Amino acid sequence: MTWKKKLKKDVSTSSFVSITHDCWTSLNTQSFFTTTVHYINHEWNLKSAVLGTIQLKGSHTAQNISEELKATHTKWNLPPNPIATTDNAANEQKAFELLNWDRFGCYGHRLNLVVKHSLDIPEVGRLLGKGRKLVTFFHQSSSSTDLFHEKQKLLFDGQTTKNLIGHKLINDVPTRWNSTLYMLQRLVEQFPVMMALANDPALSKQASSTFKNCVFSFEEQSTAENIVSLLQPFEKATTIVCADKTPTMHKILPIIIKLLKIIDRKEDDEPIIRKMKEKKNTELNKTAVFDKTTLMGSVMNPFTKDLDFAPELREQAYRYLQEEAHEVSKTGIPLKIKMEKNEGEFETLAEPPLPALPMLQSEPEEIESESQTDEPQIKKLKSADTEDWLADIVCTRESQPNPELALENEIQRYLGCKILEKDQGLTVLKWWQSHEQFYPRLMNTAKKYLCVPASSVSSERVFSLCGNIVKKKRCRLSTNNIDMLVFLNRNIEYW
């Protein structure tokens, strides 16, 4: 069986999947789009795979994108209505509206916009401009770079700072805000070396003049340190949401609350930092997402389901849980519970092995007796050692269990369950794996939302790979070969 057939079989047996999607143009001006799929298998492992890197003929209109996505959906026999994560481009949003698929806007892009707006301040721009000139100065002069490393050896030849020897200055790129952070970090780190070089007679007159105009003053050095401290939490948040081997959707809401807390203004903030915090606060509140996908991600994490960090959103989140759990139960997805038969063998049952427990409520509502429902009647069975003479007493008729009532009981049990000390070392998926027999109806809802990535970085990383494949000397590769090479490279670890 080929890898594609194995992947197709594995994906088609999943109850729910999510996808990421993005478009890219190669060196020979060919347009491609990549679709990646994410799902949680029966062993509660998060799996990711590239479905294809397909040439997109014509312009990147919403209509063309939606048609190609529909063809990919049909080709791989994906479950209906997957949740997609894409950037916030207008054509992407419109394409998924045409398909009537749920779409989540990449939170990595949102954080990028927040930071870029906060850096758009004249004072910060002047500081970054001096830093860029300083980095360019050393990158263009090998003699100055040699002097730079000599000063490093003199200043950092100690036990605690010896690892700083050999560090080069880093230049930033416009498309990645974190490169600006790395540039400032390195300039702050190497500030003693800059001060030592400021009056070094070995520098030429022109180089000395350029250097003195670009090196930070003590006040600017302090400002740069404060900017680095303000940007580091956003870099950490970006790293978290861009992970693709662990669930990330349940972390979005805690990240937003954490960042809002960090950028609270303080009385001792200097004016530049205060302006940056004000801009970040405004932009972060604009891009903060409290939609169904985000809230469901937090609720389906048993460790954060109480939403103690955002109690004002608890009622809305629980309402989404009720709606989604009932919606998933109507899709006709079988309740798959694994029961071990022999060593290494498992049996899949359609019904849960344990009965639903009573609702955990302080004042349970009165529920109509099951005997009064209109459900079809089934006969109650007797044990093997019960005499037939007692059959008319023991084998009375009882009503079919109400599935909606059983689901309500399950939701209440889940929301009322406590995280035990032994659960401390479990991941979210491992917790669900060890508790799936207690929540056979609710676990499908957990799989639906925990597999949704918080960013579209999975498809964007494919384009980084494509850039290494379709180089100037290999830009005549056929589109089929490009698709094959990307597919093999990205999926080989799983298949």
- Concatenating the DSSP letter of every residue in 218-246 gives HHHHHHHHHHHHHHHHHHHHHHHHT-SSS
Q: Are both 152 and 285 inside the same structural domain?
A: yes
User: Which amino acid type is present at position 384?
Assistant: A
* Structural domain includes residue 294: no
CA distance 21 to 37: 9
Distances (CA, A) of 350 to 55, 298, 334, 335: 42, 28, 6, 5
* Structural domain includes residue 305: no
Q: Are strands 18-25 and 83-86 parallel, antiparallel or unpaired?
A: parallel
Q: pTM score, two decimals?
A: 0.81
Report the pLDDT averaged over residues 251-271.
90
Residue 244: domain span: 107-289
Q: What's the token pair of residue 69?
A: 């996505």
Domain stop point among 241, 256, 289:
289
Report the pLDDT averaged over residues 425-438.
92
Q: Are both 133 and 167 inside the same structural domain?
A: yes
Q: Report the domain count for the chain.
A: 2
DSSP at 15:
S
Contact 296, 321 (CB under 8 A): yes
The rounded mean pLDDT for the chain is 83
Q: Note the pLDDT tens digit of each residue in 97-131.
A: 999 999 999 999 999 999 999 999 999 999 999 99
pLDDT value at residue 400? 57
3-state secondary structure string, 283-304?
A: HHHHHCCCCHHHHHHHHCCCCC
Q: Are both 82 and 141 inside the same structural domain?
A: no
Residue 79's domain is classified under what CATH number? 3.30.420
Q: What percent of the chain has pLDDT over 90?
A: 45
pLDDT above 50: residue 477: yes
Q: Are strands 83-86 and 46-55 parallel, antiparallel or unpaired?
A: unpaired
Q: Are both 123 and 26 inside the same structural domain?
A: no
* Structural domain includes residue 54: yes
* Structural domain includes residue 180: yes
Q: Note the pLDDT tens digit of each residue in 290-305.
A: 889 999 999 999 999 9
Q: Are both 26 and 69 inside the same structural domain?
A: yes
Q: What percent of the chain has pLDDT over 70?
A: 85
More confident residue, 398 or 27: 27
More confident residue, 149 or 344: 149
Domain stop point among 235, 257, 289:
289
Q: Are both 147 and 246 inside the same structural domain?
A: yes
